[in-house]
Amino acid sequence: MASSAAPPLGRRQARPPSKPGRPHRLARPAARFARWRATPPRVSPVQIGILGGTGPAGSALGARLASVGYEIVVGSRSKYRAMEAVDKLLAEWPDRGLRIVAGDNAAAAAADVVVIATPWDGAYGTATSVAEQLHGKVVICMANALTRIGKEFQPLVPPRGSVAASVQAAVPDCQVAAGFHHVPAKELGDLDHPIESDVLICSDFPRATEVTSKIVASVPNMRPLDAGGLSQATPIESFTAVLLQLNVHYKTRVAVKFTGIPEPERAEVAEPAPPEPSDG
């Protein structure tokens, strides 16, 4: 259940002072790491729409985020295909109380925060088709431009450098963040097991980075990392080809974990900040 005192997404919480004679929480990394792993934050009823949510990555992300309390709208070009995908998820996890509904892409784009999980070559067209609903919103792009030649995965570089950059160009007044590129879909969608992974996030908008980070942090054992501006989406998307190649070579599914970075405090996840006003 949401906390009435939780701050909205996009706003920072003031850090309470340490008690006299007691070290600040930042001085206790071991305890902080245990709390990160074991205690998911409270999630208020933020609605997340997933465009292309019927594919493996989109449906897996929808199930995982619904499992921690988000309301999910699975979108597709065909509402009936979205309904089939939602029915499958609810049948697979009947006791989870997942709040997932189906709709077309326009319905998903009307949510508070929008994720683009379409194939990479459909991301620009999909964003353009629902541009009116995306104005001023945080849009998370998780698509990777890849191809497979024989047994080798190779990255493709779109004209604007990345799929995320092409989405930003399609809807200039939305706030695009690239994220969730390196999380294996099968493990992401397996709600019986935790998924342990770092998630690289990049955006030209601090608000988009913060909103995306809080969504990532709501999932136990997933850690958001601010990787800089949207130009970093080019190497981030391309690196997915390396991970897929490792999967093939070692017959496994790998995820990314970075060492040497202090574990952040988990923040409560609440309502997103209002969309930025459009000049139009």
pLDDT digits (tens, 9 = 90+) for 65-98: 999 999 999 999 999 999 999 999 999 999 999 9
Domain ranges of the chain: 41-250
Q: Does the pTM of the predicted model rise above 0.85?
A: no
Contact status, residue 67 vs residue 29, Cβ threshold 8 Å:
no
Residue 75: per-residue pLDDT: 98
CB 63 within 8 A of CB 189: yes
Give the pLDDT confidence score for residue 68 in this predicted structure.
97
Residue 272, pLDDT score: 56
CATH of 41-250, one of 3.30.390.30, 3.40.50.720, 3.40.1390.10, 3.40.50.620: 3.40.50.720
pLDDT tens across 204-235, in order? 999 999 999 999 999 999 999 999 999 999 99
pLDDT at 25: 37
Residues in the chain where the model's pLDDT stays below 50:
1-41, 267-270, 280
